[in-house]
């Protein structure tokens, strides 16, 4: 009996020793950082550089690739498979036994710390806390057919009529498979225009996203934005350009998919992508030790969520499905939809009422989730067989809305990602009374455009003289006023509202000839928006507090 017991104990020990675990290996440094930043074309495309410059996004160490020599050494380590890498986090996703992964930190001096996907495996020795630091338009009239309701719900067709159909904008669709997109008649218009820029399968490490796939999910998602069947179906951004990336492994649920997503987002940033749509979400895994809890949906815990927040900082606008857990025990939005930097889209029925499956927000998230909603119940999509049908899920409300946002941003190329997101929120049906089911409600994109245009066009020659200094700043800001002392009466007082990057108003005050200073030294570091208004002037200025 004791022999059998000893055998079982040894077997258990061996299974624990050799079981395959997933972990992120964080590295201490990068190669040629200063030289790369000084010569950004060596690490980014010109489009990416132009986009960052246009929106005042710094090119920094996060843009520098991971040291390939370090990756090669990790690949050569005993029992280790390198699954993915992230330049933003200077990290490598590895798979191996706990023993082999733990050994890495004793073998390689370039490793900063290791973080296991199964948090119970982390030890004080292995894990330490780390600080993370346009084109000319023409009027376009489409016959939308079955897709009419889902674009008309947020007045996206009005943008199309005025020529904003996504031309000149670049979208990355990060999803599962895209079967037959390269041959379907529904995407012929897209292909003939050369608007499928490239594709990559991060799961299988190849460029076959059309046949080497276990899912048609990406095809359905893409159809809501880029599908076109004359007089029968038009997507919400039919003239945008697209990158197609697979990061979802349809055969299993594992944290490595989060790492694949971050890799894809990093590539999108390097390519100059404007908008990312992701109709994916991560909550629980096949191995329950890797699973998150609802308390982890706090906007900064999941690896993919942290990656999404960096992507937002890099100037991209991320649109993500809220999730389909509204009627089950999980209930709330998943990662990365919980990220403050992600524009999370819930689902409504065709009549605009809440779709019961749509994941809800709660007090765990630092910002109101979902942000807004679009049609996600009985959404019209096109299958890989060129058949128009209906499907349910926030997987479809997300790209339907993403396409509309792409067209809005085309119309407002000088606005930042944060400004576009806030304009969409403010245009929504319940902006002043948001809830956890619909967030801010159903947007009105034409209203958003009109609101922004009124600010841009309301210029009597004095807007250009209205400035705030210094910018960036650590403390007080001063306003240079466009009025003479005689002109600055009560009618010309300046109303100043300051919003944080998430669109939350954090200060409201009045500027006069005697009080033209505002102290922001207590504000958190980062980007803020300053809206200045008077009887004759309206202007929004981006302010950087450091």
pLDDT of residue 460: 46
Q: Quick one: which H or E segment has residue 500?
A: strand 494-500
Q: What value does the mean pLDDT take over residues 173-184?
A: 97
Q: What percent of the chain has pLDDT over 90?
A: 72
Distance CA 58, CA 73 (A): 31
**Are 148-455 and 463-545 in the same CATH fold?**
no
Q: How many CB atoms lie within 10 A of CB 295?
A: 8
Whether residue 16 is predicted with pLDDT greater than 70 in this model: the reply is no
Distance CA 182, CA 165 (A): 22
Give residue limits of the domains in the chain.
148-455, 463-545
pLDDT of residue 536: 64
3-state class (DSSP) for residue 36: helix
Catalytic residue among 93, 160, 217, 440: 217
pLDDT of residue 521: 85
**Residue 287 is among the residues annotated as catalytic for this protein:** no
pLDDT of residue 126: 40
Distance CA 179, CA 219 (A): 6
pLDDT of residue 389: 98
Q: Where are the beta strands (DSSP E) in 56-153?
A: 81-86, 91-96, 111-116
Q: How many CB atoms lie within 10 A of CB 222?
A: 28
**The two structure tokens encoding residue 1:** 């009996």
CA-closest candidate to residue 110, choices 218, 26, 223, 167: 26
- 493 or 457: which leads in pLDDT: 493
Residues 390 and 379: beta-carbon distance below 8 Å: yes
Q: Quick one: which H or E segment has residue 224?
A: helix 217-226
Please state which architecture CATH assigns to domain 148-455.
3-Layer(aba) Sandwich (3.40)
Whether residue 8 is predicted with pLDDT greater than 50 in this model: the reply is no
CA-closest candidate to residue 403, choices 227, 235, 191: 235
Phi and psi (nearest 5°) for 422? -70, -40
> To which residue do tokens 């060596």 refer?
42
Q: What is the pLDDT of residues 29-52, one digit of tens each?
A: 999 999 999 999 999 999 999 999
Pairing label, strands 317-321, 342-348: parallel
- 209 or 476: which leads in pLDDT: 209
Q: What value does the mean pLDDT take over residues 346-365?
A: 97
Whether residue 362 is predicted with pLDDT greater than 90 in this model: the reply is yes
Q: Quick one: which H or E segment has residue 73?
A: helix 68-75
Return the bridge partners of 201, or none: 206, 246
In sign, the C-alpha dihedral spanning 218, 222, 227, 233 is positive
**Residue 175 is among the residues annotated as catalytic for this protein:** yes
Q: What percent of the chain has pLDDT over 70?
A: 87
CA-closest candidate to residue 401, choices 443, 338, 435, 367: 443
Catalytic residue among 22, 63, 175, 201: 175
Catalytic residue among 86, 358, 395, 538: 395
Whether residue 525 is predicted with pLDDT greater than 80 in this model: the reply is no
Whether residue 349 is predicted with pLDDT greater than 70 in this model: the reply is yes
Q: Where are the beta strands (DSSP E) in 257-363?
A: 275-278, 317-321, 342-348
Q: Where are the beta strands (DSSP E) in 309-404?
A: 317-321, 342-348, 372-375, 379-382, 388-391
Distance CA 91, CA 283 (A): 22
Q: What value does the mean pLDDT take over residues 346-353?
A: 98
Q: How confident is the model at residue 3 (pLDDT cuts 50, 70, 90)?
A: very low
Domain 463-545, CATH class in plain words = mainly beta
Q: How confident is the model at residue 539 (pLDDT cuts 50, 70, 90)?
A: confident
**Residue 29 is among the residues annotated as catalytic for this protein:** no
CA-closest candidate to residue 269, choices 304, 303, 311, 309: 311
Residues 182 and 251: beta-carbon distance below 8 Å: no
Q: How many CB atoms lie within 10 A of CB 147?
A: 28
Count CA within 13 A, CB hemisphere, residue 104. Answer: 36
Mean pLDDT of the chain: 88
Q: What is the pLDDT of residues 468-479, one digit of tens each?
A: 777 777 778 887
3-state class (DSSP) for residue 501: coil
Q: What value does the mean pLDDT take over residues 288-314?
A: 97
CA-closest candidate to residue 479, choices 490, 461, 495, 499: 495
């Amino acid at each position: 009996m004791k022999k059998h017991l000893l055998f079982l104990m040894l077997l258990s020990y061996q299974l624990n020793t050799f079981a395959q675990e997933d972990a992120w290996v964080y590295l201490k440094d990068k190669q040629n950082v200063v030289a790369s930043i000084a010569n950004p074309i060596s690490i980014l495309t010109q489009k990416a550089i132009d986009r960052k410059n246009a929106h005042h996004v710094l090119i920094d160490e996060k843009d520098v690739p991971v040291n390939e020599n370090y990756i090669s050494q990790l690949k050569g380590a005993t029992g280790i498979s390198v699954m993915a890498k992230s330049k933003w986090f200077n990290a490598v996703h590895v798979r191996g036994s706990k023993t082999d992964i733990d050994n890495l930190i004793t073998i390689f001096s370039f490793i900063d710390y290791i973080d296991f996907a199964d948090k119970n495996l982390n030890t004080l020795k292995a894990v330490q806390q780390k600080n993370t630091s346009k084109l000319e338009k023409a009027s376009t009239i489409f016959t939308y057919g079955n897709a009419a309701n889902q674009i008309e719900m947020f007045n996206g067709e009005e943008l199309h009529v005025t020529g904003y159909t996504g031309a000149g904008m670049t979208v990355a669709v990060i999803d599962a498979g895209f079967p037959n997109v390269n041959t379907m008649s529904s995407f012929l218009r897209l292909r003939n225009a050369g608007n499928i820029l490239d594709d990559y399968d991060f799961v299988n490490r190849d460029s076959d996203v059309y046949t080497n796939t276990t899912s048609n999910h990406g095809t359905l998602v893409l159809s809501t934005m880029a599908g076109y069947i004359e007089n029968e179906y038009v997507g919400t951004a039919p003239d945008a350009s697209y990158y197609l990336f697979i990061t979802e492994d349809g055969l299993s649920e594992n944290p490595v998919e989060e790492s694949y997503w971050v890799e894809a987002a990093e590539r999108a940033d390097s390519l100059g992508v404007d908008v990312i749509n992701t109709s994916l979400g991560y909550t629980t895994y096949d191995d329950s030790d890797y699973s998150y809890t609802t308390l982890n949906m706090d906007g900064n815990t999941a690896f993919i969520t942290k990656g999404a927040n960096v992507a937002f900082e890099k100037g991209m606008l991320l649109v993500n499905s809220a999730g389909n857990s509204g009627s089950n025990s999980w209930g709330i939005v998943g990662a990365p939809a919980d990220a403050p930097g992600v524009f999370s889209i819930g689902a409504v029925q065709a009549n605009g009422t809440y779709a019961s499956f749509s994941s809800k927000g709660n007090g765990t998230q630092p910002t109101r989730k979902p942000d807004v909603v679009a049609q996600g119940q009985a959404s019209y999509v096109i299958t890989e067989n060129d058949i128009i049908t209906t499907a349910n899920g926030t997987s479809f409300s997300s790209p339907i809305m993403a396409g509309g946002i792409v067209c809005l941003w085309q119309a407002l190329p000088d606005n930042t990602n944060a400004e576009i997101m806030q304009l969409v929120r403010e245009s929504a049906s319940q902006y002043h009374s948001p809830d956890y089911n619909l967030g801010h409600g159903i947007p009105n994109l034409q209203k958003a455009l009109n609101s922004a245009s009124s600010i841009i066009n309301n210029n009597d020659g004095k807007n250009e003289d209205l400035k705030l200094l210094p910018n960036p700043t650590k403390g007080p800001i001063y306003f240079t006023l466009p009025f003479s002392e005689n002109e600055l009466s009560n009618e010309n007082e300046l109303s100043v509202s300051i919003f944080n990057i998430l669109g939350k108003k954090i200060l409201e005050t009045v500027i006069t000839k005697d009080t033209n200073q505002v102290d922001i030294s207590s504000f958190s570091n980062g980007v803020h928006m300053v809206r200045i208004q008077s009887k004759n002037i309206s202007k929004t200025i981006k302010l950087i507090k450091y």
